[in-house]
Amino acid sequence: MSLSTLSERKNFSREKYLEARKKTKLSYDAMEEKWQVRKEARFELEMERKRIKQLSEKYNRIWDDYHKKRDRLNAEIEALLPQADAEHKEAKRYLSLADNSSINGEIELFSLEAEIHRVRRDGINAKVQELIKQVKNARALAEKNAPRGSIDKTRFFELKEKAEKAKAEYEAALEEFQTNNTEKERLLAAYDAAYAEYLSLKRAQK
């Protein structure tokens, strides 16, 4: 093979290598740009994830506190209701005794006992109503501070979709860079071989 032909092959190989190197550099820059976009998207997503986590923790804490208070107050109510019922029955029993008695002293005594039990009953019922009111107020406060469905995850899902898209685009850019880099290395090896062959023949002709 002539020196001229080898020189043309060497120059052609060099041009192809230089084109591949330029293409590889461009794909590397594009990959780096996609990496920055992906990093920023992941950061935004993580910040939103933390924000939702904080809101969820606050939401759960408020409702957990309400449920504990509700259960404690309901337990007090449940304990008081039998007492109110017992006082009511005693008031009725003494009224019945007073109604069936014909002795003035007994009527007065039974009526007094009936009144005592009615007062106790009414006091217990008032306490029950106060506890019921406390349960309602506690729930209203929880609903005010942490309304049902108050954690809007719309932005989170938007950022998640954005991050996934950025990841896919980065991976595509990475694959393109790797392909171009492999081709660049192959063309470099071809150029090195052509250059070596050219030099070898040139030296042999001296």
Encoded tokens for 193: 């071989």
Distance from C-alpha of 195 to C-alpha of 11, rounded to nearest angstrom: 8
Per-residue pLDDT of the chain (206 residues; tens, 9 = 90+): 687 888 888 899 999 999 999 999 999 999 999 999 999 999 999 999 999 999 999 999 999 999 999 999 999 999 999 999 999 999 999 999 988 887 778 888 999 999 999 999 999 999 999 999 999 999 999 999 998 888 899 999 999 999 999 999 999 999 999 999 999 999 999 999 998 988 888 787 76
Angle at 85 between CA 80 and CA 86, to 5 degrees: 100
Are the beta carbons of 42 and 174 closer than 8 angstroms?
A: no
Q: Which of 116, 112, 114, 125 is nearest to 84 (CA)?
A: 125
Our CA dihedral for 179, 185, 190, 192, rounded to 10 degrees, sits at 170
Are the beta carbons of 145 and 133 closer than 8 angstroms?
A: no
Encoded tokens for 131: 């506890």
pLDDT value of residue 206: 64
Q: Which of 87, 63, 42 is nearest to 143 (CA)?
A: 63
Are the beta carbons of 13 and 173 closer than 8 angstroms?
A: no
Q: Which of 15, 11, 29, 13 is nearest to 181 (CA)?
A: 29
pLDDT value of residue 2: 80
Are the beta carbons of 15 and 188 closer than 8 angstroms?
A: no
